[in-house]
Structure 1
Amino acid sequence: MKIGVFCSANNSIDPDFFAATEAFGKWMGENKHTVVYGGCNIGLMECIGKSTHEAGGRTIGVVPQIVERGGKKSSYIDIEMLCDNLSDRKDLINNQSDILVALPGGIGSLDEIFTVAASHTIGYHAKLVVLYNMKGFWNSLIALLDDMQARGFIRGEWKDYIKVANTLDELTQMITNED
Protein backbone atom coordinates (compact mmCIF):
# COMPACT_ATOMS: atom_id res chain seq x y z
CA MET A 1 0.00 0.00 0.00
CA LYS A 2 1.13 3.55 -0.67
CA ILE A 3 0.70 5.66 2.44
CA GLY A 4 0.88 9.43 2.02
CA VAL A 5 2.30 11.21 5.05
CA PHE A 6 1.96 14.89 5.91
CA CYS A 7 4.18 16.13 8.72
CA SER A 8 6.51 18.73 10.16
CA ALA A 9 9.78 19.76 8.56
CA ASN A 10 11.04 21.17 11.84
CA ASN A 11 13.70 19.68 14.09
CA SER A 12 12.84 21.79 17.15
CA ILE A 13 9.81 19.81 18.31
CA ASP A 14 8.98 17.33 21.08
CA PRO A 15 11.33 14.30 20.83
CA ASP A 16 8.37 12.01 21.56
CA PHE A 17 6.99 12.91 18.11
CA PHE A 18 10.21 11.63 16.53
CA ALA A 19 10.00 8.36 18.48
CA ALA A 20 6.36 7.78 17.45
CA THR A 21 7.14 8.70 13.82
CA GLU A 22 10.09 6.32 13.78
CA ALA A 23 7.87 3.49 15.08
CA PHE A 24 5.30 4.21 12.36
CA GLY A 25 7.98 4.26 9.66
CA LYS A 26 9.43 0.99 10.95
CA TRP A 27 5.96 -0.57 10.82
CA MET A 28 5.51 0.62 7.22
CA GLY A 29 8.88 -0.76 6.18
CA GLU A 30 8.46 -4.10 7.92
CA ASN A 31 5.06 -4.51 6.26
CA LYS A 32 6.47 -3.59 2.82
CA HIS A 33 4.41 -0.42 2.46
CA THR A 34 5.55 2.63 0.54
CA VAL A 35 5.63 6.07 2.12
CA VAL A 36 4.79 9.01 -0.14
CA TYR A 37 5.99 12.21 1.49
CA GLY A 38 7.50 15.63 0.95
CA GLY A 39 11.07 14.35 0.71
CA CYS A 40 12.80 16.89 2.98
CA ASN A 41 15.78 16.04 5.15
CA ILE A 42 14.40 17.94 8.14
CA GLY A 43 12.13 17.08 11.06
CA LEU A 44 9.51 14.37 10.96
CA MET A 45 9.82 14.25 7.16
CA GLU A 46 13.38 12.96 7.40
CA CYS A 47 12.39 10.66 10.26
CA ILE A 48 9.53 8.98 8.36
CA GLY A 49 11.62 8.56 5.21
CA LYS A 50 14.65 7.18 7.02
CA SER A 51 12.74 4.80 9.30
CA THR A 52 10.61 3.41 6.46
CA HIS A 53 13.62 3.03 4.16
CA GLU A 54 15.82 1.39 6.79
CA ALA A 55 13.06 -1.09 7.71
CA GLY A 56 12.76 -2.28 4.10
CA GLY A 57 9.93 -0.12 2.80
CA ARG A 58 10.03 2.03 -0.29
CA THR A 59 10.03 5.83 -0.20
CA ILE A 60 8.62 8.21 -2.77
CA GLY A 61 9.75 11.76 -2.17
CA VAL A 62 7.69 14.50 -3.83
CA VAL A 63 10.20 17.30 -3.81
CA PRO A 64 9.58 20.89 -4.88
CA GLN A 65 12.49 22.19 -6.94
CA ILE A 66 13.09 25.00 -4.44
CA VAL A 67 13.68 22.36 -1.73
CA GLU A 68 16.16 20.49 -3.91
CA ARG A 69 17.99 23.70 -4.86
CA GLY A 70 18.20 24.60 -1.17
CA GLY A 71 19.96 21.32 -0.38
CA LYS A 72 17.12 20.03 1.79
CA LYS A 73 16.30 16.84 -0.13
CA SER A 74 16.45 13.63 1.88
CA SER A 75 18.99 10.97 0.95
CA TYR A 76 16.48 8.24 1.88
CA ILE A 77 14.33 8.75 -1.23
CA ASP A 78 14.02 5.67 -3.45
CA ILE A 79 11.86 7.35 -6.09
CA GLU A 80 12.02 11.11 -6.55
CA MET A 81 9.20 13.08 -8.08
CA LEU A 82 10.17 16.69 -8.71
CA CYS A 83 7.45 19.30 -8.72
CA ASP A 84 7.21 23.03 -9.26
CA ASN A 85 5.38 24.15 -6.12
CA LEU A 86 3.40 23.10 -3.06
CA SER A 87 0.12 22.77 -4.98
CA ASP A 88 1.77 20.28 -7.35
CA ARG A 89 3.26 18.47 -4.36
CA LYS A 90 -0.14 18.06 -2.71
CA ASP A 91 -1.71 16.78 -5.93
CA LEU A 92 1.10 14.29 -6.54
CA ILE A 93 1.10 12.97 -2.97
CA ASN A 94 -2.69 12.57 -3.06
CA ASN A 95 -2.66 10.91 -6.48
CA GLN A 96 0.14 8.50 -5.51
CA SER A 97 -1.39 7.48 -2.16
CA ASP A 98 -4.05 4.98 -1.15
CA ILE A 99 -4.58 6.59 2.26
CA LEU A 100 -3.10 9.71 3.88
CA VAL A 101 -1.82 10.17 7.42
CA ALA A 102 -1.18 13.50 9.13
CA LEU A 103 1.51 13.41 11.78
CA PRO A 104 2.12 16.52 13.86
CA GLY A 105 2.78 19.44 11.54
CA GLY A 106 2.21 23.10 10.90
CA ILE A 107 0.49 25.29 8.35
CA GLY A 108 1.58 23.14 5.41
CA SER A 109 0.18 20.00 7.03
CA LEU A 110 -3.14 21.74 7.71
CA ASP A 111 -3.29 22.82 4.07
CA GLU A 112 -2.62 19.25 2.94
CA ILE A 113 -5.21 17.72 5.30
CA PHE A 114 -7.97 20.04 4.20
CA THR A 115 -7.12 19.86 0.50
CA VAL A 116 -7.54 16.08 0.59
CA ALA A 117 -10.64 16.18 2.81
CA ALA A 118 -12.36 18.93 0.78
CA SER A 119 -11.78 17.14 -2.51
CA HIS A 120 -13.18 13.96 -0.92
CA THR A 121 -16.37 15.78 0.15
CA ILE A 122 -16.96 16.93 -3.43
CA GLY A 123 -16.37 13.44 -4.83
CA TYR A 124 -12.98 13.67 -6.53
CA HIS A 125 -11.81 10.60 -4.60
CA ALA A 126 -12.73 8.44 -1.59
CA LYS A 127 -9.41 8.54 0.26
CA LEU A 128 -9.28 9.06 3.98
CA VAL A 129 -7.03 11.34 5.94
CA VAL A 130 -6.09 9.98 9.36
CA LEU A 131 -4.92 12.38 12.03
CA TYR A 132 -2.29 10.52 14.05
CA ASN A 133 -3.07 12.24 17.32
CA MET A 134 0.27 11.72 19.08
CA LYS A 135 0.13 13.07 22.63
CA GLY A 136 -3.15 14.82 21.78
CA PHE A 137 -1.47 16.99 19.14
CA TRP A 138 -4.63 17.28 17.01
CA ASN A 139 -7.08 17.76 19.93
CA SER A 140 -7.64 21.46 19.25
CA LEU A 141 -8.27 20.77 15.54
CA ILE A 142 -10.73 18.01 16.46
CA ALA A 143 -12.53 20.42 18.81
CA LEU A 144 -12.69 23.03 16.02
CA LEU A 145 -14.14 20.49 13.58
CA ASP A 146 -16.70 19.39 16.17
CA ASP A 147 -17.67 23.03 16.76
CA MET A 148 -18.00 23.70 13.02
CA GLN A 149 -20.11 20.53 12.72
CA ALA A 150 -22.37 21.61 15.61
CA ARG A 151 -22.88 25.04 14.03
CA GLY A 152 -23.92 23.52 10.71
CA PHE A 153 -20.87 24.54 8.67
CA ILE A 154 -19.93 21.00 7.64
CA ARG A 155 -22.27 19.03 5.44
CA GLY A 156 -22.48 15.45 6.57
CA GLU A 157 -20.06 14.23 9.21
CA TRP A 158 -16.44 15.38 9.14
CA LYS A 159 -15.49 11.98 10.56
CA ASP A 160 -16.56 10.43 7.25
CA TYR A 161 -13.52 12.12 5.64
CA ILE A 162 -11.06 12.57 8.47
CA LYS A 163 -10.38 9.80 10.97
CA VAL A 164 -8.47 10.04 14.24
CA ALA A 165 -5.97 7.50 15.58
CA ASN A 166 -4.60 8.06 19.06
CA THR A 167 -2.13 5.15 19.07
CA LEU A 168 0.04 3.33 16.56
CA ASP A 169 -2.17 0.26 16.95
CA GLU A 170 -5.28 2.29 16.04
CA LEU A 171 -3.45 3.82 13.09
CA THR A 172 -2.15 0.54 11.69
CA GLN A 173 -5.61 -1.04 12.10
CA MET A 174 -7.17 1.80 10.06
CA ILE A 175 -4.53 1.38 7.36
CA THR A 176 -4.94 -2.40 7.31
CA ASN A 177 -8.72 -2.04 6.98
CA GLU A 178 -8.25 0.21 3.92
CA ASP A 179 -5.90 -2.32 2.31
Structure 2
Amino acid sequence: MEKIGIFCSASNEIDQEFVEATRQLGEWMGKEKKTLVYGGTNLGLMECIARASKMNGGKVIGVIPALLEENGRTSSLPDQVIQTSNLSDRKDIIVEKSDILVALPGGIGTLDEVFHVISAASLGYHSKKIVFYNIAGFYNSLLAALNEMEQKYFIRKQQRNTYAVANSFEELALLLK
Protein backbone atom coordinates (compact mmCIF):
# COMPACT_ATOMS: atom_id res chain seq x y z
CA MET A 1 0.00 0.00 0.00
CA GLU A 2 1.82 3.07 -1.23
CA LYS A 3 -0.92 5.72 -1.03
CA ILE A 4 -2.70 5.94 2.28
CA GLY A 5 -5.84 8.03 2.62
CA ILE A 6 -6.37 9.47 6.08
CA PHE A 7 -9.61 10.74 7.58
CA CYS A 8 -9.26 12.51 10.93
CA SER A 9 -10.10 15.39 13.20
CA ALA A 10 -9.59 19.03 12.29
CA SER A 11 -9.86 20.06 15.94
CA ASN A 12 -6.94 21.67 17.75
CA GLU A 13 -8.52 20.96 21.14
CA ILE A 14 -8.20 17.17 21.41
CA ASP A 15 -6.26 15.07 23.89
CA GLN A 16 -2.51 14.84 23.39
CA GLU A 17 -2.69 11.03 23.27
CA PHE A 18 -4.41 11.24 19.87
CA VAL A 19 -1.94 13.84 18.61
CA GLU A 20 1.02 11.66 19.59
CA ALA A 21 -0.41 8.53 17.94
CA THR A 22 -1.10 10.55 14.78
CA ARG A 23 2.43 11.97 14.78
CA GLN A 24 3.82 8.43 15.14
CA LEU A 25 1.81 7.25 12.13
CA GLY A 26 2.88 10.23 10.02
CA GLU A 27 6.52 9.68 10.96
CA TRP A 28 6.26 6.01 9.98
CA MET A 29 4.58 6.90 6.68
CA GLY A 30 7.37 9.32 5.82
CA LYS A 31 10.14 6.87 6.69
CA GLU A 32 8.39 4.12 4.71
CA LYS A 33 8.05 6.53 1.73
CA LYS A 34 4.28 6.27 1.73
CA THR A 35 2.12 8.96 0.14
CA LEU A 36 -0.38 10.65 2.43
CA VAL A 37 -3.70 11.59 0.84
CA TYR A 38 -5.79 13.68 3.22
CA GLY A 39 -8.17 16.60 3.62
CA GLY A 40 -5.51 19.29 3.16
CA THR A 41 -6.34 21.62 6.04
CA ASN A 42 -3.98 23.26 8.49
CA LEU A 43 -5.92 22.15 11.56
CA GLY A 44 -5.83 19.38 14.16
CA LEU A 45 -4.74 15.86 13.33
CA MET A 46 -4.75 16.73 9.62
CA GLU A 47 -1.89 19.21 10.02
CA CYS A 48 -0.16 16.90 12.51
CA ILE A 49 0.00 13.89 10.20
CA ALA A 50 1.00 15.99 7.19
CA ARG A 51 3.84 17.63 9.11
CA ALA A 52 5.15 14.34 10.54
CA SER A 53 4.98 12.60 7.17
CA LYS A 54 6.62 15.44 5.27
CA MET A 55 9.40 15.92 7.85
CA ASN A 56 10.29 12.25 7.48
CA GLY A 57 10.45 12.12 3.68
CA GLY A 58 6.88 11.29 2.74
CA LYS A 59 4.89 12.76 -0.12
CA VAL A 60 1.74 14.67 0.84
CA ILE A 61 -1.37 15.21 -1.29
CA GLY A 62 -3.98 17.57 0.15
CA VAL A 63 -7.54 17.55 -1.18
CA ILE A 64 -9.30 20.75 -0.16
CA PRO A 65 -12.78 22.09 -0.88
CA ALA A 66 -13.07 25.66 -2.15
CA LEU A 67 -14.92 26.90 0.94
CA LEU A 68 -12.15 25.80 3.29
CA GLU A 69 -9.55 27.27 0.96
CA GLU A 70 -11.40 30.59 0.89
CA ASN A 71 -11.40 30.60 4.70
CA GLY A 72 -7.61 30.23 4.81
CA ARG A 73 -7.63 26.63 6.02
CA THR A 74 -5.27 25.19 3.39
CA SER A 75 -2.10 23.64 4.77
CA SER A 76 1.22 24.77 3.29
CA LEU A 77 2.65 21.24 3.65
CA PRO A 78 1.23 19.29 0.66
CA ASP A 79 3.45 18.60 -2.33
CA GLN A 80 0.28 18.61 -4.39
CA VAL A 81 -3.03 20.33 -3.67
CA ILE A 82 -6.18 19.15 -5.38
CA GLN A 83 -9.03 21.66 -5.18
CA THR A 84 -12.61 20.48 -5.08
CA SER A 85 -15.91 22.28 -5.18
CA ASN A 86 -17.34 20.51 -2.11
CA LEU A 87 -16.89 17.89 0.60
CA SER A 88 -18.45 15.10 -1.48
CA ASP A 89 -15.91 15.58 -4.24
CA ARG A 90 -13.12 15.61 -1.64
CA LYS A 91 -14.21 12.22 -0.29
CA ASP A 92 -14.37 10.72 -3.77
CA ILE A 93 -10.92 12.00 -4.72
CA ILE A 94 -9.31 10.81 -1.49
CA VAL A 95 -10.78 7.33 -2.08
CA GLU A 96 -9.77 7.36 -5.75
CA LYS A 97 -6.16 8.41 -5.04
CA SER A 98 -5.63 5.98 -2.13
CA ASP A 99 -4.79 2.28 -1.99
CA ILE A 100 -6.21 1.94 1.54
CA LEU A 101 -7.91 4.35 3.96
CA VAL A 102 -7.46 4.93 7.68
CA ALA A 103 -9.91 6.53 10.08
CA LEU A 104 -8.07 8.25 12.90
CA PRO A 105 -10.18 9.70 15.71
CA GLY A 106 -12.49 12.40 14.41
CA GLY A 107 -15.95 13.87 14.56
CA ILE A 108 -18.98 14.08 12.29
CA GLY A 109 -16.89 14.77 9.17
CA THR A 110 -14.73 11.72 9.80
CA LEU A 111 -17.78 9.53 10.37
CA ASP A 112 -19.30 10.84 7.13
CA GLU A 113 -16.10 9.90 5.31
CA VAL A 114 -15.92 6.45 6.91
CA PHE A 115 -19.49 5.54 6.05
CA HIS A 116 -19.08 6.92 2.53
CA VAL A 117 -16.16 4.53 1.99
CA ILE A 118 -17.94 1.52 3.53
CA SER A 119 -21.18 2.15 1.67
CA ALA A 120 -19.47 2.64 -1.70
CA ALA A 121 -17.38 -0.52 -1.20
CA SER A 122 -20.43 -2.57 -0.24
CA LEU A 123 -22.14 -1.49 -3.48
CA GLY A 124 -19.08 -2.36 -5.58
CA TYR A 125 -17.89 1.14 -6.47
CA HIS A 126 -14.42 0.20 -5.20
CA SER A 127 -12.74 -2.63 -3.31
CA LYS A 128 -10.71 -0.53 -0.88
CA LYS A 129 -10.71 -1.21 2.82
CA ILE A 130 -10.88 1.35 5.60
CA VAL A 131 -9.05 0.72 8.85
CA PHE A 132 -10.38 2.12 12.11
CA TYR A 133 -7.29 3.14 14.10
CA ASN A 134 -8.84 2.54 17.49
CA ILE A 135 -6.50 4.70 19.58
CA ALA A 136 -7.33 4.32 23.30
CA GLY A 137 -10.57 2.54 22.36
CA PHE A 138 -11.89 5.64 20.56
CA TYR A 139 -14.05 3.59 18.17
CA ASN A 140 -15.22 0.92 20.65
CA SER A 141 -18.77 2.30 20.90
CA LEU A 142 -19.11 2.71 17.14
CA LEU A 143 -17.79 -0.80 16.50
CA ALA A 144 -20.24 -2.18 19.07
CA ALA A 145 -23.08 -0.35 17.30
CA LEU A 146 -22.01 -1.78 13.93
CA ASN A 147 -21.87 -5.25 15.45
CA GLU A 148 -25.36 -4.83 16.89
CA MET A 149 -26.68 -3.63 13.51
CA GLU A 150 -25.16 -6.71 11.92
CA GLN A 151 -26.69 -9.02 14.54
CA LYS A 152 -30.11 -7.46 13.84
CA TYR A 153 -29.57 -7.84 10.05
CA PHE A 154 -29.41 -4.13 9.24
CA ILE A 155 -25.86 -4.64 7.98
CA ARG A 156 -24.94 -7.59 5.79
CA LYS A 157 -22.09 -9.77 7.05
CA GLN A 158 -20.07 -9.13 3.89
CA GLN A 159 -19.93 -5.42 4.77
CA ARG A 160 -17.63 -6.36 7.62
CA ASN A 161 -15.07 -7.19 4.91
CA THR A 162 -14.97 -3.50 3.93
CA TYR A 163 -13.26 -2.46 7.16
CA ALA A 164 -10.67 -3.59 9.66
CA VAL A 165 -9.73 -2.50 13.16
CA ALA A 166 -6.24 -1.75 14.47
CA ASN A 167 -6.01 -1.41 18.23
CA SER A 168 -2.29 -0.60 18.23
CA PHE A 169 0.26 1.05 15.99
CA GLU A 170 1.84 -2.36 15.33
CA GLU A 171 -1.48 -3.77 14.11
CA LEU A 172 -1.99 -0.72 11.90
CA ALA A 173 1.49 -0.90 10.38
CA LEU A 174 0.91 -4.56 9.43
CA LEU A 175 -2.34 -3.65 7.66
CA LEU A 176 -0.61 -0.81 5.76
CA LYS A 177 2.44 -2.75 4.51
TM-score range normalised by the length of the shorter chain: over 0.9
Using the size of structure 1 for normalisation, the TM-score is 0.97
SS in 2 for 1:73: coil
What TM-score, normalized by structure 2, do the two folds share? Answer: 0.98
- Identity rate, percent: 51
The equivalent of 1:93 in structure 2 is: 94
Q: Which residue identity is paired with 2:154?
A: F
Q: Which residue of 1 aligns with 2:31?
A: 30
For residue 118 of structure 2, what is the aligned residue in structure 1? 117
Confirm whether residue 60 of structure 1 aligns to residue 61 of structure 2. Answer: yes
Distance 2:115 2:70 in 1: 28
Query: Counterpart of 2:87 in structure 1: which amino acid?
Result: L
Q: How far is 1:156 from its partner?
A: 2.0
Structure 2 residue ranges without an equivalent (≥5): none
* Length, aligned pairs only: 176
What are the residue-to-residue correspondences of 1:26-175 with 2, within 5 Å?
A: 26-175=27-176
Q: Structure 1 CA distance, aligned partners of 2:13 and 2:7?
A: 17
For 1:88 and 1:22, locate their aligned partners in 2 and report how far apart those are by CA, in whole Å. Answer: 27
The residue identity in structure 2 corresponding to 1:34 is T
Q: Write out the 4+ residue segments of structure 1 that deviate beyond 3 Å after TM superposition.
A: none
Between the aligned partners of 2:175 and 2:133, the Cα distance in structure 1 is 11
Letter of the structure 2 residue corresponding to residue 153 of structure 1? F
Q: Distance in 1 between matches of 2:78 and 2:167?
A: 28
d(CA) in 2 for partners of 1:68 and 1:29? 25
Give unmatched runs, 5+ long, in structure 1: none
User: Helix, strand or coil for the counterpart of 2:4?
Assistant: strand
| Aligned alpha-carbon RMSD (Å) | 0.7
Q: CA deviation at 1:41?
A: 0.5
Deviation at 1:157, TM superposition (A): 3.8
Output the CA distance in 2 between the equivalents of 1:125 and 1:83: 20
Query: Which residue identity lines up with residue 109 of structure 1 in the other structure?
Result: T
